[in-house]
Structure 1
Amino acid sequence: MLMGVRIWVGGALWLALVLCGIRCRIIGLERLPAGSVVIAAKHQSAWDTLIFHRLLADPVFAVKRELFSVPLFGWYLRKAGNIRIDRTSRVHALKSLVRGARHALAADRQVIVFPEGTRVAPGVSHPYQVGIAAVYGQCGAPVVPVALNSGVFWGRRHWRKRAGLITLEFLPPLPAGLDREGVLNELKNRIEAASERLRREAEAQLPAGSRLCTKPGGKRA
Structure 2
Amino acid sequence: MITFRSHLFNVVFYLNLAIWLAFASVTFLLPRMAIIRVAQAWGRSNLWLLWVIVGTRIEFRGRERIPRGGLLMAAKHQSFLETFVLIGCVDDPAIILKRELQWIPVFGWLTIKAGMIPVHRGGPNALAAMNQRAAAEAAGGRQIIIFPEGTRRPPGATPGYRSGVAHLYRSLEVPCLPVALNSGIFWPRRHYIRRPGIVTIEFLDPIPAGLERDEFMRRLQHAIETASDRLLAEAERISATPDVALVRQAD
TM-score (norm 2): 0.81
Q: What's the counterpart of residue 156 of structure 1?
A: 189
Paired residues of 1:63 and 1:82 also in contact (CA < 8 A): yes
* Alignment partner of 1:173 out of 194, 206, 212: 206
Q: What's the counterpart of residue 104 of structure 2?
A: 70
* Alignment partner of 2:245 out of 177, 199, 211: 211
Q: What's the counterpart of residue 166 of structure 2?
A: 133
Deviations 1:83-115 (A, max 9, x none): 1101023x5231122112112112211100111
How far off is 1:125 after superposition? 3.1
Q: What's the counterpart of residue 69 of structure 2?
A: 35
How far off is 1:11 after superposition? 1.2
Determine helix, strand or coil for the equivalent of 1:156.
Answer: coil
* Alignment partner of 1:112 out of 145, 165, 174: 145
How far off is 1:205 after superposition? 2.5
User: Is 1:143 matched with 2:176?
Assistant: yes
User: Is 1:121 matched with 2:149?
Assistant: no
Distance 2:74 2:246 in 1: 24
How far off is 1:182 after superposition? 1.3
TM-score (norm 1): 0.91
How far off is 1:60 after superposition? 0.7
How far off is 1:148 after superposition? 0.5
List, as ranges, runs of 4+ consecutive aligned residues in structure 1 with deviation greater than 6 Å.
none
Distance 2:208 2:71 in 1: 14
Amino acid across the alignment from 1:182: E
Unaligned stretches of 5+ residues in structure 1: none
Amino acid across the alignment from 1:102: A
Deviations 1:127-159 (A, max 9, x none): 211111112212111111110001110111112
Paired residues of 1:130 and 1:180 also in contact (CA < 8 A): no
Identity across the alignment (%): 41
Distance 1:122 1:170 in 2: 18
How far off is 1:198 after superposition? 0.3
Q: What's the counterpart of residue 193 of structure 1?
A: 226
Paired residues of 2:173 and 2:209 also in contact (CA < 8 A): no
* Alignment partner of 2:217 out of 184, 190, 196: 184
How far off is 1:9 after superposition? 1.6
Unaligned stretches of 5+ residues in structure 2: 1-34
Paired residues of 2:70 and 2:141 also in contact (CA < 8 A): yes
* Alignment partner of 2:55 out of 21, 40, 60: 21
Amino acid across the alignment from 2:127: L
How far off is 1:186 after superposition? 1.1
User: Is 1:9 matched with 2:9?
Assistant: no
Q: Alignment length, in residue pairs?
A: 216
Distance 1:155 1:213 in 2: 8
Q: Which moved more, 1:192-201 or 1:202-211?
A: 202-211
Paired residues of 1:97 and 1:131 also in contact (CA < 8 A): no
User: Is 1:59 matched with 2:90?
Assistant: no
* Alignment partner of 2:119 out of 78, 85, 94: 85
Distance 2:69 2:209 in 1: 18
Amino acid across the alignment from 1:168: I
Determine helix, strand or coil for the equivalent of 2:52.
Answer: helix
Deviations 1:16-49 (A, max 9, x none): 1100111111111111111111101101111101
Paired residues of 1:84 and 1:96 also in contact (CA < 8 A): no
Determine helix, strand or coil for the equivalent of 1:197.
Answer: helix
**Cα RMSD (Å):** 1.7
Amino acid across the alignment from 2:143: Q
